Amino acid sequence: MHVWRVDLRLRPSRFFLLFSALLHAAALVAVYQCGLSPWLKSCLCFLVLVSAWLSWRQELARAGMALCEHGVDWHLENGIAPVRATLMRHRVWRYLVVLDFRVETAGRWRRHRLVIFPDSVPADVFRRLRVRLHHAALPHDA
């Protein structure tokens, strides 16, 4: 039985960037429409803009990130060096895949969540990833 080995490179998701822009624009409109003082409105607008900048920065930083499966271990590469990771859990939906990893960096373990949208990878790769994860059994799922 041949099992497809995960080996993909992410690109920025236009869907996420558009959704994020619309959500933050709606938040700015809501702040503008509320009956607060102008000073408080300015502070809230600043917070919404910082949130938009952080979410866009995080999504664009994931561009070019590579994800490879090597048996039980996975490797995440963000342009610097591959980092060993263990897939702790995954969630698979039709238009979204969420992977929760335990990543080892500098001798310490930390959690890392990777959200993959359908337009982040080619369509056939996204379909294969969904099928592969759907049929994968994690050690703690038994």
State the pTM of this model. 0.76
Q: For the domain with range 65-141, which CATH number is right: 2.30.29, 3.40.50, 3.30.160, 1.20.144?
A: 2.30.29
**pLDDT tens-digit map of 101-138:** 888 777 788 888 888 999 999 999 999 889 888 877 65
pLDDT tens, position by position, 30-87 = 999 998 899 999 999 999 999 999 999 888 887 778 888 877 778 888 777 788 888 8
User: What element of type H or E holds 82?
Assistant: strand 82-93
Angle between helices 38-61 and 14-33 (to 10 degrees): 180
Residue 27 vs residues 35, 44, 49, 61, 77: alpha-carbon distances, Å: 14, 9, 10, 24, 34
Domain assignments of the chain as residue spans, ordered by start: 14-61, 65-141
